[in-house]
DNA sequence: TGACATAGTGTAAATCATACACTTTAATCG
DNA sequence: CGATTAAAGTGTATGATTTACACTATGTCA
């Protein structure tokens, strides 16, 4: 079966920059390419957009198929369409980025563990196509959004401490935050609330556990 | 001649939201569609991406072909790909927005004057496809960028007064600005400089004319 | 029961944003 | 040619926000 058109058409794919934070490092999910071009090279998860799905659905589907991750924050980043970005065919890629909470980063059993892996953002292997460029732009967008939205909460598990949240900010921004000012600022947003429970965690005072008030919502602030 | 592929492919277009400011109103450039679907309906200028051009090149080319406008600020806005956004074929549109300085808004003579026109943003006709949605998003982005970049300078002619610049801000933001605070803020950016010339313009004190220091550059501020 | 390690807290100073009204100046008109 | 007109141009005081900064609290473990 083949599909014919009067004019040449590019192929359209979605690629997803999947971020998580684990052990105080920003991590990025990559898959090893099984097919040419860039066979054996690490790349962003992604694939062709199907005729009956929206772009965001395509990105969510690819993410779930290749990694088992579903229901996470997903936002369109940018569309890349340089004529030579794929050496073989004209491919236009609508890039998204996704944020995975740290309690949901176990990868799909279906995927061969060798082929899907988290990498530290500062220790990425060479990436296929222009994927390093896409990943850099995603990081810039994410860091910018920390300053004017509650997007960082998308990384948090059900319950978390203010110290853990602060570590998330420090990891993405690559800069230490003043503890007292950070707490004042975050609590003033009224986006999280204390649960009353505490986390006992070693030979020191236990920390209050917080939860996100409206986990779906990313509020724009100020 | 026809082009055949193993899987169905969407068509990819660029659409451009072209803004200018004239007579203290934000104006938007529309073309009347000659062909179905939405024949006779007003729409954003745009068209198919050619095999050898980048997305931005495609947007710039469409803009120039249909309106004669070239060399203006052009930025990718968002990519729209709902499966049903075109009733006949799957079309993915990479939308851009462009800002045209007020001294360059004479439209291409080649275009039938009936078919290409500026409309006040507050008095738009019904638009084809999801173009009203695209136009609204472009306006939101533009208004947001006024607050953290020097993008408004892209609307200005070679020489302009601070009063004219203030009108541009007020028009886009739909809110009056305090004259003294506005001037303080703008001059502190060091993005424009006085020319020494003045504009004599009626029975009152003439205004200093300014020019943009680096007309290509849109600086991110604060 | 004392040492340890992280949690939790407030204030003062500096910076930035806002509100606000009169003087200047060239043109025009009588 | 002097008076009128209309927009240009200018500074300060107040409040709001942001920043810098260091000690006390508390549960665990040896």
Q: Same structural domain for residues A92 and A165? A: no
Q: Same structural domain for residues B15 and B50? A: yes
Q: Same structural domain for residues A29 and A130? A: yes
Among residues B138, B64, B41, which one has the least CA distance to residue B94? B138
Single residue among A144, A163, A178 that ends a domain in this structure: A144
- The verdict on residue B5 lying in a domain is no
Among residues A186, A193, A188, A191, which one has the least CA distance to residue A210? A193
The tens digit of pLDDT for each residue in B143-201 reads 999 999 999 999 999 999 999 999 999 999 999 999 999 999 999 999 999 999 999 99
pLDDT of A1 reads: 87
Integer Cα distance of A161 and A184 in angstroms:
14
pLDDT of A139 reads: 98
The C1' atom of C28 and the CA atom of B25 lie apart, in whole Å, by 29
Label residue A106 by pLDDT band (50, 70, 90): confident
Integer Cα distance of A83 and B53 in angstroms:
6
pLDDT of B45 reads: 96
Contact B22, B106 (CB under 8 A): no
- The verdict on residue A62 lying in a domain is yes
Integer Cα distance of B216 and B212 in angstroms:
9
The tens digit of pLDDT for each residue in B89-130 reads 999 999 999 999 999 887 765 555 569 999 999 999 999 999
Integer Cα distance of A96 and A80 in angstroms:
11
Above pLDDT 70, what percent of chain B? 97
Q: Same structural domain for residues B39 and B140? A: yes
Q: Same structural domain for residues B61 and B143? A: yes
> Is the per-residue pLDDT at A154 higher than 70?
yes
Q: Same structural domain for residues B156 and B122? A: no
- The verdict on residue A220 lying in a domain is no
Q: Note if the bond before A37 is cis, omega within 30 degrees.
A: yes
Integer Cα distance of A126 and A141 in angstroms:
21
Q: Same structural domain for residues B132 and B168? A: no
pLDDT of A24 reads: 94
- The verdict on residue A3 lying in a domain is no
CATH number at residue B195: 1.10.10.10
- The verdict on residue B42 lying in a domain is yes
Question: Which ranges of A94-222 does DSSP label H, i.e. alpha helix?
Answer: 131-148, 162-173, 179-188
Integer Cα distance of A51 and B140 in angstroms:
30
How far does Cα A170 stand from its chain's mean position? 17
pLDDT of B107 reads: 72
Integer Cα distance of B88 and B197 in angstroms:
56
Q: How many CB pairs under 8 A join A and B?
A: 88
pLDDT of B113 reads: 57
Question: Which ranges of chain B does DSSP label H, i.e. alpha helix?
Answer: 55-67, 131-148, 162-173, 179-188
Q: Residue holding tokens 């993410």?
A: A63
Domain boundaries, position A180: 151-212
Nearest nucleotide by C1' from A209 CA? C7
Higher pLDDT, A126 or B111: A126
CATH number at residue B66: 3.90.79.10
DSSP B199: E
Q: Same structural domain for residues B155 and B63? A: no
Rounded average pLDDT over A121-136: 98
Rounded average pLDDT over A58-85: 96
Q: Same structural domain for residues A137 and A166? A: no
In chain A, residues 126 through 165 whose Cβ sits under 7 angstroms from any atom of nucleic acid strand C? 161-163
**Between β-strands A91-100 and A11-22, what pairing exists: parallel, antiparallel or unpaired?**
parallel
Rounded average pLDDT over A87-106: 94
8 Å CB contact of A1 and B5: no
Q: How many other CB atoms are there within 10 angstroms of residue B204's CB atom?
A: 7
How far does Cα A86 stand from its chain's mean position? 23
8 Å CB contact of A76 and B79: yes
- The verdict on residue B174 lying in a domain is yes
pTM more than 0.90: yes
Q: Same structural domain for residues B165 and B136? A: no
pLDDT of A107 reads: 72
Residues of B in contact with A7 (CB under 8 A): 3, 11, 48
Q: Same structural domain for residues B173 and B140? A: no
Label residue A138 by pLDDT band (50, 70, 90): very high
- The verdict on residue A91 lying in a domain is yes
Q: Same structural domain for residues B169 and B77? A: no
Q: What is the number of structural domains in chain A?
A: 2
pLDDT of B111 reads: 58
Rounded average pLDDT over A69-79: 97
The C1' atom of D12 and the CA atom of B164 lie apart, in whole Å, by 26
pLDDT of B100 reads: 97
Backbone angles phi, psi at A197, to 5 degrees: -80, 160
Residue of A12, A53, A94 with shortest CB distance to B9: A12
């Amino acid at each position: 079966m083949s599909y014919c058109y009067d004019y040449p058409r590019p192929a359209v794919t979605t690629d997803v920059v999947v971020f998580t934070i684990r052990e105080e490092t920003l991590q990025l999910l990559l898959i090893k390419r099984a097919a040419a071009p860039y066979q054996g090279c690490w790349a962003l998860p992604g694939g062709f957009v199907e005729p009956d799905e929206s772009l965001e659905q395509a990105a969510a589907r690819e993410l779930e198929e290749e990694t088992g991750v579903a229901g996470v924050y997903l936002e369109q980043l940018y569309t890349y369409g340089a004529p030579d970005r794929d050496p073989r065919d004209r491919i236009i890629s609508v890039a998204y980025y996704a944020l995975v909470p740290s309690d949901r980063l176990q990868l799909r059993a279906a995927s061969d563990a060798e082929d899907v892996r988290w990498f530290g953002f500062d220790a990425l292997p060479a990436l296929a196509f222009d994927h390093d460029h896409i990943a850099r732009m995603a990081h810039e967008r994410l860091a910018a959004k920390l300053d004017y939205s509650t997007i960082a909460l998308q990384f948090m598990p059900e319950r978390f401490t203010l110290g853990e949240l602060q570590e998330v900010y420090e990891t993405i921004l690559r800069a230490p935050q003043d503890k007292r000012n950070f707490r004042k600022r975050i609590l003033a947003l009224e986006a999280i609330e204390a649960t009353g429970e505490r986390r006992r965690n070693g030979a020191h005072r236990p920390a209050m556990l917080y939860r996100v008030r409206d986990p779906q919502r990313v509020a724009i602030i100020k």
